Structures are given as structure tokens and as C-alpha cells.
Amino acid sequence: MSQPISVHNLKAWYGTQLTLKSVDMELPASQVTAIIGPSGCGKSTFIRCLNRLHETLPGARVEGDVHLGTQDLYKVDPVDVRRMIGMVFQKPNPFPTLSIFDNIALGLRLGGVHNRGQLREAVERSLQMAALWGEVKDRLSEPATSLSGGQQQRLCIARAIAVQPEVLLMDEPASALDPVSTLRVEELVEQLKDTYTIVIVTHNMQQAARVADETAFFLNGEVVEFADTTTIFTNPTDKRTEDYITGRFG
Amino acid sequence: MQQRQNFDISLRELKLQLLHMGGDVQESIRKAIEALKIGDMVMAGQVVHDDIHINQQEHEIENLCIRLIATQQPVATDLRKIVAGMQIATDLERMGDNAVDIAKTVTRLQGQTLIKPLVDIPQMATIVDTMISNALNAYVENSLDLAEDLAIQDDEVDHLYRRMMEELFSIGKDRPDVAHQAMSLAFIGRYLERIGDHATNVGEGVIFIITGKRSDLN
């Protein structure tokens, strides 16, 4: 079962620069939440605080509470946090020296799974969920880099879900893909949301409108508006949201 | 810096096209009523003939809206402006059809002497003319007040229509020889009443653009 994420009074710094200014959000379980906003508004920083990646940067600092269900993520080992919260990045980043199979199996092996049968089963299940199994089942030993960009991104999604996380963070997951691959990733997001709490950062307004149940508009490190996606894209409350989504600024 | 200038220019173009179409519809209604008053079948025929231009304008507005949806992916107020713009064009086109209905009725009357002086019909025509102006002004000025006032004006039209129907029914009952003309005049009243309803629809479209909420002015 996926779990909701509760964020309270979350602040993040790069050195002395305050990038997130007291963010409060409740991200519902088994739903897709889109984070939109102009470049530099703090949306990537926000999701990197959810899986504690932000604090790995030199000089970066975080304050506030992030709970997954009842668990305080800032009181858990960061390695465990990243196992519970998978992440997919803008550019597909498969391990270039590893095969398709080993790209998926690596996280499981690091988690202590070495039984060949169990690994095969988990790799197949992950690739099935990422809608990639049919395309790669006969070439699992080939290098992951032999796949197309769209396939590599779905491989990265399969890799993220192989360790059975509860949350999937996606930072502009389709911005480097062609329209067909983009739609496949979007369909995948729709299918995966029953199993995972999904948070997706996107610059593509139509993509947010298509895939997200809830949408948050960030500006200057603050949440300007957070509401169901239909409301945000048909009748937003705040003029700044309206101006951004209609392309009047940003 | 202002962005999406081309899109904003297109939205202004949509507004201008709707205003132009609205002006033509008003002109058709005025002509149809004038033709009734003076029994001018040529003028009535002109209203029927000119309807093709109103229909063309509706298609042009629809095409513009379809193009903007396809190429600009509008959202929020922009999307409501475009969707409501299409609905307003449809309502204006229906008003134009009602003007044609009035004109055809005038043609069927063939210049007969009217069974009673025209009182309620010109009054209704004046009010619906004002309603169309107000509806279009509400659209141009984003005026909720003007849009909402259309409900009051529509009630006036409905009241006149009911009064007129009662009078015509009474005349038709007493004088079966003029029942046909009484029915024709009743139809004209009905067409004007429908035009008033379409004007309130335009007002509802304006309210939707401004607030994003649905309303019922009718």
C-alpha cells in the first residue's frame, strides 16, 4: 500500500540562499501530484527534500518535517529513505556498463537479494509494470544503452520500482523524450499510481493537466496554489497561477 | 514583458468578430420588425437572404476557436473565453434564425392589414435589442452586472409575451376569420421571446468567462 506524504514548514537552503520558504503540503497516497512553476522556483529542490537528496549537496541544508505515513523521514537512515522513495530523473540514466537485467537487479542485490530465481521474477515484474517487458524480454543481457531514449527512461522507472518503494518521484521524466515516448511514460504514470504515491515535476502544462490528480504551483520557493488539477487548469484562484499557466510569465 | 502577444491578438480578433456578428444579428431583427410594421415583403426577403452572412460568421468564429484550441492549448480564463465564444456565436446564429422566422412570417402575411395596432411586439423588440447590446457589452467589458441584469430584462420580455398571447387568444376566439393572423403574430412574439432567451445565454457565457461558474439567467 502506498502512503501519503505530509510536509510541514519545510525550508531548504543552498548555502545562505533560502530556496524553499516554509512549504506545507499533504500529498495523497495513490495519486499523482504535479509540481509546476518557472525555473528556479524550488520545485526540484522540493522533491529532492522528500527523498533527502538535497542534503547531499555541499552547503545544502533542510529544516522542517517530512512524514511518509507516520514515519518521520528525517529520522530514518537516508539510504532507507531512498529505498522507500524512488526517483526518476530528467535524462534517462541507466548504468552504462550494465545489461538491461543487471540495471534492474542491482538495487535488489544491494538490498541483499541474491537468489537467481527471485531476481528474475522481480526483474520481469518491474519491466512488466514499466510496460517494457514485451520489448526487451529477448535481450535482457544486452547493454541498457542499446535501448532508445524512451525505453531507457522506462528502464529507469522499472529500476526505481524494482525495490518496491512506496513513493515515486519524477523530475521532468519526459522532457528529453519524443512525443510518442512521452505519452507512453504518461500512460505508465497513470497505471502506476494505484500502487505508488507519485510526485512529478514538469514544465509541460499539458502533461500536468493530463496525468496529475492534484497540482501545486510553486513560485519563489513558496506554494502559491495547491488544488485538484481540474481547478488549477480551468479556474485557478490566484492570479499568479493564472498568469503562469496561461503563459503570461515564466 | 508581455508574452503570448499573437495569442492575445487572436483573442481580441475573436471578440471583434463576435461584436460584428452581434451587430449584424441586431440589424436583421430590426429589419424584420420594421418589415412587419410597414408590411414590406422586400425588406423581409432581404433579412432571409442576409442570414447566410450570419451563418458564415458563425463558422468563421468556430474555425478561429478550433484553431486557437489546437495551436495554443488554452487553459483557465483563456479556455473559457474560447469555449464561451463558440457558445455565444451559436446563440447569435440562432437569434439570426429567429429574425429569419419573423421575416418569413411577415412574407406569409402578404401585407394584410393588421388586426390590431402593434404595441407589445415593438416593445419586446426594443427590449431584446437592448438585451443583445447589453450582452455584447457585458462580454466586451467583462461586466458581471450587465450580464446579470439580462435576467430582469428577460422577465420583462416574458411578461409582455404572456400578455400578448392572452390578447391574441381572445381576439382569435371572438373572430375566427382573423385567427390565422393572430397565430402568426403569436409566433412572432414567440420568436422574440426566444431571442431574449438566447441573449440570456450569452450573459451566462460572460458570467462563466469571468467567474468560471455556471449560472441560469433564464
Domain layout of chain B by residue ranges: 5-211
Selected residue with higher pLDDT from B5 and B57: B57
Q: Does A246 touch chain B (CB under 8 A)?
A: yes
Q: Does B113 touch chain A (CB under 8 A)?
A: no
Mean per-residue pLDDT for A138-163?
Answer: 95
pLDDT for res B174? 84
Interface contacts (A, B; CB < 8 Å): 35
How close A190 gets to chain B, by Cα (Å)? 21
How many structural domains compose chain A?
1
Pick from B140-154, B173-187, B188-202: least confident: B173-187
Average pLDDT over residues B148-173: 94
Span A102-130, average pLDDT: 94
Residue B3's pLDDT is: 67
Secondary structure element (H or E) that encloses residue A27, with its range: strand A17-27
In a domain, A40, yes or no: yes
Residue B112 has pLDDT above 80, yes or no: yes
- The pLDDT assigned to B100 comes to 98
Of B121, B126, B133, whose CA–CA distance to B189 is shortest?
Answer: B121
Nearest-CA distance B69 → chain A (Å): 12
Domain with A45, as residue range(s), is 5-245
Q: Is the pLDDT of residue A180 over 70?
A: yes
| pLDDT exceeds cutoff 50 at A136 | yes
**Mean pLDDT for the stretch of residues A26-45:** 96
Rounded Cα–Cα distance for residues A132 and B60 (Å): 46
Residue B160 pLDDT more than 60? yes
In Å, how far is A230's CA from the nearest CA of chain B? 9
Who's near A115: CB < 8 A, 6+ residues apart?
A: none
Residue A21 has pLDDT above 50, yes or no: yes
Q: Is domain B5-211 annotated with CATH 1.20.58.220? A: yes
- This prediction has a pTM of 0.84
The better pLDDT of the pair B130, A249 is held by B130
Task: Say which range, A47-56, A108-117, A179-188, B153-162, has the weakest mean pLDDT.
Answer: A179-188
What is the per-residue pLDDT across A196-242, written as a single tens digit (0 to 9) for each? Answer: 999 999 999 999 999 999 999 999 999 999 999 999 999 999 999 99
Average pLDDT over residues B70-86: 93
Average pLDDT of chain A? 94
Please state the rounded mean pLDDT for residues A114-126: 95
Residue B165 has a pLDDT of 94
**What pLDDT is recorded for position B1?**
45
A29: closest CA of chain B, how far (Å): 27
Q: State mean pLDDT over A23-32.
A: 96
A247 touches chain B (CB under 8 A): yes
pLDDT recorded at residue A250: 64
Helix (H) or strand (E) holding B132: helix B120-141
How far are the Cα atoms of A241, B26, B53, B91, B159 from residue B196, in angstroms, in the given order?
37, 12, 21, 10, 12
What is the overall mean pLDDT for chain B? 94
CATH number, domain of A68, equals: 3.40.50.300
pLDDT of residue A33: 98
CB A213 within 8 A of CB A28: yes
What interface predicted TM-score (ipTM) does this complex get? 0.75
Contact A245 B76 (CB under 8 A): yes
pLDDT at B99 over 60: yes
Task: Determine the average pLDDT of the residues in A131-145.
Answer: 95
What residues of chain A, 22 to 41, have a C-beta less than 8 Å from chain B? none
Q: Which residues of B touch A236 (CB under 8 A)?
A: 76
Taken in order B119, B123, B126, B131, is the CA torsion positive or negative? Answer: negative
Average pLDDT over residues B163-190: 91
Closest CA to B176 of B120, B118, B115, B107: B115
Q: Do B76 and A209 touch (CB under 8 A)?
A: no
In a domain, A215, yes or no: yes
- Residue A155 forms part of a structural domain: yes
Say what the pLDDT of residue B2 is.
Answer: 55
- Structural domain contains residue A131: yes
SS3 content of chain B, % helix, strand, coil (to 5): 85, 0, 15
Could you tell me if residue A169 is inside a domain?
A: yes
Structural domain contains residue A250: no
The distance of Cα A69 from the centroid of its chain, to the nearest Å, equals 18
Strand residues in A150-237 grouped as ranges (E): 167-171, 197-201, 214-219, 222-228
